Chain A
Amino acid sequence: MAGSLASDEEGFVRTEGERTALLGQSAVDGDLAIVFAGALHLPEPIQKMQHYGIGGPYCTVTVVLSGTLKLLKLISEAYNLGLLPDNQISLLFVFLSIPSPITMSMVFLSPPPPPTTLSSLPIRTHLCLRSQLAIFPKKLPSLLLARSTENGAGEVISSATVLEEEVEQKSEENKEGTPPAAAAVETQVEDEQKPNLESNGAVLKAEEKSLKAEEKAVLPKFKDPRWIGGTWDLTQFLKDGKTDWDAVLDAEVRRRKWLEDNPEASSNEEPVILDTSIIPWWTWVKRFHLPEAEVLNGRAAMIGFFMAYFVDSLTGVGLVDQMGNFFCKTLLFVAVAGVLLIRKTEDINTLKKLLEETTFYDKQWQATWLEDKSSNDTKGKE
């Protein structure tokens, strides 16, 4: 019995019972790929890949395959322990090896409900279960924490932005504003301002507007204590001794948003020399790729499952045999490409317009030749 108690890298010791409960809940939790990665002690690189959402669909396939093998081992151990009755093993194996919420519905609800309710089901359970799962290994909580920090930071950012917007509106109203009014606005902003100075020159803008009210329209300049010499001073972005690239990216986003709304005169004295390539690639990936990859991963998995089921029902060819067929591989490629390209309904029109635009210029140039071909026999058409 002692052999069945295993500890993962972080030293969590779990019983088999906990593991089965884990698997059951993971089936409820639509995102099996991530769960597999953490719960089944998959190697570090794959966990990292999941953490960063790299190569969504490919990762799913890899993870599912390796996860399936581990699952087999797990199920055999569970069976040895007498935890699972015989007739449920094959059932469990079949359903748990296919990542999809529909699996969960087949397990827990006898008549398969239509897909619309399915999609809503896992999301709600997803959200409330995630917060309750305390038995996840350390990597996953860090993933959750990272997400919540981002969301939290997002909320913080948005609140700061709202403050900015309010102050900007106020200061615009008080264009010829009296100093007391400007000072009042200033103090209000200062009171509500977060300690790490996330808002930019809104305060100084109010100052400048009141001081230079008589001069012709002078555009307010972007001012931020961390913006020195035309680039971000990285020494002011340190967190735990390392540069906080997320904060740098946030600051740059807000600077550009400010400049879009308030275009600034270019100056020779302080040229902007910032290059966004100083921000390392994983910051960008985390900021954009991770949530997108999650969504697309889920979609690709769903489409793949339905297609496999459909082809199987029509031809009787199983999943493994399907993968050996060229036509099926083509279908898979089309599905993945389609999921990547068409994310919203508008994308179809956008792609069509893009294609038209790309060829429009060429058509203009060829117009003089095409007319010649079409009216070759009829001459002198004016």
Chain B
Amino acid sequence: MAAVSSSHPLHGDRHCLLSSSSSSRFYLRLRAHRITSTRRSPPSTAVPIVASSSSSRPLRAAVIGGGPAGASASEALSLGGVETFLIERSPSGSKPCGGAIPLCMLSEFDLPAHLVDRCVTRMRVLSPSNRIADFGRSLHPNEFIPMLRREVLDSFLRNRAVSAGAHLLPGLCTSLQLPASESDPYIVHYTASPPSPGSLAGIPSTLAVDVVVGADGANSRVARAVCAGGYATAIAFQERIRLPPAAMSHYADLAEMYVGTDVSPDFYAWVFPKCDHVAVGTGTSIAKHDIKRLQGGIRARAGPKIVGGEVIRVEAHPIPEHPRPRRVVGRVALVGDAAGYVTRCSGEGIYFAAKSGRMCGEAIVRSWKERGMVTETDLKNEYLGKWDDEYLGMFRFLDLLQRVFYGSNAGREALVELCADEYVQRMTFESYLHKRMATGDWRKNLGLAWRTVSSLMRASIVGWEIERLRMTAVDS
């Protein structure tokens, strides 16, 4: 124990920056929750697992998937003295992703500035009738939305985890063998990538570990192995288009969001700037078969601004719509996309993946140090409980927003009308950039509620009138 305590996160030099206040906040919240919560699982009388505080060997953990979630989990585990194995199938691959992260992620995860490709300070939302709401007006001078390339971010986080002591095993996890009893380890079967690039066949290998963190994304194999249940997914489809310099300058610090049935029946379409090209894409959950038409729709809507561009890549990826029914099963915890932590309405997943990975890692470390064992109950209370407490409200709210404002053209028009309002913009930025549910002034909130209702009413009335016109045109 003495050997491992010196590398405890609170004492480690590297993590002076990782605010000790946030860690102490964790402990304070933990104590508060122990007193007040009623939703916790009762403490179990579990048989101690393989590694305990009395045994000489440290806890062994396998993290399947080396994206932001996996890398953060490995880092947190390694810093806590856990022997961590990070299995990643393509360490140099790039993922189809918008690439936007909230501002707080830069400070919370100590990301250096050179990772950021662009600092977006202007966001534009366009309604079906092309009404514009310019979102940049209420940004403070030091606020922006960092845009980066996933391959750059992922490899940085992975390298940092390796420096903290994690063992990176390039390879594809093929199956997970569940333990026969509480004292048996999990067996991870994976195909290790060949060390020399010439050879074709991978090397089948196994790994025996005490705890598994499943961070392998939307098609998680770990989730399937532990029967965590499925979830509804949306599909995000995007084309990377290289524009001529004149057109690219328009998007230098501008990101656009388009709403309308022509671009997506239940989500939004986007034009996001990347390092030297733009990503033009759309997403949908209910019209996946029609995705090509929707992509055509967004290209038409962006119209003259992307004309003359050259498509350099086409990519698509499933996005989970809600969490899996079981996010912790036995001593396996799911984090990131594998767990389903993607917000609705904005489709944001990078920050929540990294944060959940870190929270899970820290929960494992804490329960191992305090009790000498890690059980399902520990994982649920320490990791899931805290996660739900902190972010469930935000996820619920965004789900409500998506249902109200993305469901119909009337809702979308009302959304853009409201987005033009300064107070709405300020609240949005507070919540998005700093991941805090902004509270604001109660008087202004009342005013906002009133304006929301009246915007929705007006847009609905126009919608009904349009329907009426259509019906009279059809009848006659």
Cβ of A351 to closest chain B Cβ, rounded Å: 14
Q: Is A371 within 8 A of B326, CB to CB?
A: yes
**Chain B residues numbered 86-132 whose CB sits less than 8 Å from any CB in chain A:** 126-132
Q: How many Å lie between the Cα of A279 and that of B455 in the bound state?
A: 12
Q: Is A365 within 8 A of B128, CB to CB?
A: no
Q: How large is the interface on A (under 10, 10 to 19, 20 to 34, 35 or more residues)?
A: 35 or more
Picked from A253, A276, A365, the residue with its CB within 8 Å of the CB of B388 is: A365
Which of A159, A219, A263, A277 has the most chain B CB atoms closer than 10 A to its own CB?
A263
Is A378 on the interface with B (CB-CB < 8 A)?
Answer: no
Q: How many Å lie between the Cα of A362 and that of B388 in the bound state?
A: 11
Q: How many Å lie between the Cα of A362 and that of B130 in the bound state?
A: 34
| A276-B417, A382-B329 known; A365+B458 contact, CB < 8 A | no
| A284-B457, A368-B325 known; A161+B472 contact, CB < 8 A | yes
Is A287 on the interface with B (CB-CB < 8 A)?
Answer: yes
**Chain A residues numbered 316-371 whose CB sits less than 8 Å from any CB in chain B:** 357-358, 360-362, 364-365, 367-369, 371
Which residue on chain A has the smallest CB distance to residue B44? A379
Q: Is B472 within 8 A of A158, CB to CB?
A: yes
| A287-B465, A364-B322, A367-B326 known; A266+B302 contact, CB < 8 A | yes
Which of B39, B129, B455, B468 has the most chain A CB atoms closer than 10 A to its own CB?
B129
Is A376 on the interface with B (CB-CB < 8 A)?
Answer: yes
What 0/1 readout, one digit per residue, does chain B (382-415) give for beta carbons within 8 Å of chain A? 0010001000100110011001000001000100
* Residues from chain A with Cβ under 8 Å of B263 in the complex: 263
* Residues from chain B with Cβ under 8 Å of A287 in the complex: 461, 465
Q: Is A256 within 8 A of B461, CB to CB?
A: no
Is A271 on the interface with B (CB-CB < 8 A)?
Answer: yes
Which of B42, B300, B302, B328 has the most chain A CB atoms closer than 10 A to its own CB?
B300
Segment of B21-29, B197-205, B223-231 engaged in the interface with chain A: B223-231
Q: How many Å lie between the Cα of A320 and that of B43 in the bound state?
A: 61
Q: Is B396 within 8 A of A154, CB to CB?
A: no
Q: How large is the interface on B (under 10, 10 to 19, 20 to 34, 35 or more residues)?
A: 35 or more
Q: Is A267 within 8 A of B303, CB to CB?
A: yes
Q: Is B300 within 8 A of A265, CB to CB?
A: yes
Total cross-chain contacts (CB, 8 A) = 153
Q: How many Å lie between the Cα of A371 and that of B376 in the bound state?
A: 13
Is A44 on the interface with B (CB-CB < 8 A)?
Answer: no
Is A165 on the interface with B (CB-CB < 8 A)?
Answer: yes
Is B149 on the interface with A (CB-CB < 8 A)?
Answer: no
* Residues from chain B with Cβ under 8 Å of A165 in the complex: 473
Cβ of B312 to closest chain A Cβ, rounded Å: 20
Picked from B229, B459, B468, the residue with its CB within 8 Å of the CB of A276 is: B459
Q: Is B396 within 8 A of A284, CB to CB?
A: no
Q: Is B325 within 8 A of A367, CB to CB?
A: yes
Is A255 on the interface with B (CB-CB < 8 A)?
Answer: yes
Q: Is B417 within 8 A of A275, CB to CB?
A: yes
Q: How many Å lie between the Cα of A272 and that of B129 in the bound state?
A: 8
* Residues from chain B with Cβ under 8 Å of A208 in the complex: none
Q: How many Å lie between the Cα of A284 and that of B459 in the bound state?
A: 10
* Residues from chain A with Cβ under 8 Å of B131 in the complex: 272-274
Picked from A257, A364, A368, the residue with its CB within 8 Å of the CB of B380 is: A368
Picked from B128, B132, B461, B473, the residue with its CB within 8 Å of the CB of A161 is: B473
Picked from A266, A279, A371, the residue with its CB within 8 Å of the CB of B325 is: A371
Q: Is A362 within 8 A of B396, CB to CB?
A: yes
Cβ of A362 to closest chain B Cβ, rounded Å: 6
Picked from A154, A219, A250, A361, the residue with its CB within 8 Å of the CB of B399 is: A361
Is B136 on the interface with A (CB-CB < 8 A)?
Answer: no
Which residue on chain A has the smallest CB distance to residue B340? A364
Q: How many Å lie between the Cα of A32 and that of B372 in the bound state?
A: 80
Cβ of B51 to closest chain A Cβ, rounded Å: 19
| A357-B403, A368-B327 known; A256+B476 contact, CB < 8 A | no
Q: Is B304 within 8 A of A267, CB to CB?
A: yes
Is A162 on the interface with B (CB-CB < 8 A)?
Answer: yes
* Residues from chain A with Cβ under 8 Å of B227 in the complex: 382
* Residues from chain B with Cβ under 8 Å of A161 in the complex: 469, 472-473
| A274-B131, A369-B39, A380-B330 known; A257+B466 contact, CB < 8 A | yes
Which residue on chain A has the smallest CB distance to residue B325? A367
| A219-B300, A271-B132 known; A260+B462 contact, CB < 8 A | no
| Extra pairs beyond A266-B130, A272-B130 (14, CB < 8 Å) | A157-B469, A158-B469, A219-B303, A253-B462, A256-B128, A263-B260, A263-B262, A263-B300, A263-B301, A275-B420, A288-B464, A368-B323, A368-B380, A382-B329
* A/B interface sample: 12 pairs, CB < 8 A: A157-B472, A257-B466, A263-B128, A266-B302, A272-B131, A275-B420, A358-B400, A358-B403, A364-B340, A367-B229, A367-B326, A382-B329
Q: Chain A: residues with CB nearer than 8 A to chain B?
A: 154, 157-159, 161-162, 165, 217, 219, 249-250, 252-257, 259-260, 263-268, 271-277, 279, 284, 287-288, 357-358, 360-362, 364-365, 367-369, 371-372, 376, 379-380, 382
Q: Would you list the 4 A-B pairs with minimal beta carbon distance, nearest first?
A: A265-B303, A158-B472, A367-B325, A263-B262
